[in-house]
Structure 1
Amino acid sequence: MILYFSATGNGKYIAEQIAEKTDEKCMSIVDCICEDKYCFSNEKIFGMVVPTYFWRLPRIVAEYLGKLRIENCGYTFFLASYGTTTGEAGSMAKKIMAHNGQNFDAYYSVIMLDTWTPVFDLTNKNRVDKWLSDGKKQLKLVIGNIMSKRKGNFVDRKLYSRKPEL
């Protein structure tokens, strides 16, 4: 099961790509909240895909993580999408999960378009295409890691403040 939160479609896209390649289902965290679904057990793969909002987790995701229970799942992961940096999103998720006596097996990040339009100009087609290309390359590597069930922190810190080259 791959859960996602997505306001612009980036997270849904990532979750759907992972679900397709791993033969898993994906579900919106908003739908989980509406259905009062906070416990997942016996999943081969359980993952969460969320955006980085102002270098943090979106409030709805943090609140959901606080109630989440993962039991007897084969492999678990957390993935934060980002435009310029994942900030504290991954460490926030880790702290919330640890508070509940849980942990993800792996942490990932994938660069996507930064959609905060007051600062980021998305009218430059070359820049947007480069951003998308970089994100697809990262996602392919992440999916390979997920399928191999690699454990660890694979958040690429070298990319934190990186902007695509023109």
Structure 2
Amino acid sequence: MAVDVEEFIRSVADELLAYFARRVMPNEDAADCLSETLLVLWRRRDGLPSADDQRRAWTYGVAHNVLAAHRRGGFRHLALTGLLRDELRVKPIAPESSDDAAIAALAALPARDQELITLVVWEGLSIAEAGAVIGIRPDAARARYSRARRNLRARLR
């Protein structure tokens, strides 16, 4: 069964925009990242997985790679970027949580663990799918996720 690419793109665009908005500063860069991701999806439309869950995880993998390229390339750096990054390390922005202790505990985790946790909790991916996004096997993702949760619990006591 062929995938209706336009329909699929419409169905994931809002959640991908939210994915980028939570990860890039300034917020206008989220739109740039989204457009680059949609362009990759369009160009690679013949290679989209046919199963819905695989296609969604694959799409987040593309978004993850676009995000990495964005960070490496330093699109639209502002003079305050360094200051903002320092501030976000102390008090990260998590629009869906007002629990400052949980936010601070999450910020204290290594970046890769933060990404795994937020892909599962905020983006709704399974642990295996989130692991695939960051490039680790499902069993490694489950172990890393379990350790990260244990670390979060310990920090919240």
TM (norm. structure 2) is 0.28
Structure number with the higher strand fraction is 1
Bigger proportion of residues as helix = 2
* TM value normalised by structure 1: 0.27
Name the larger-Rg structure: 2
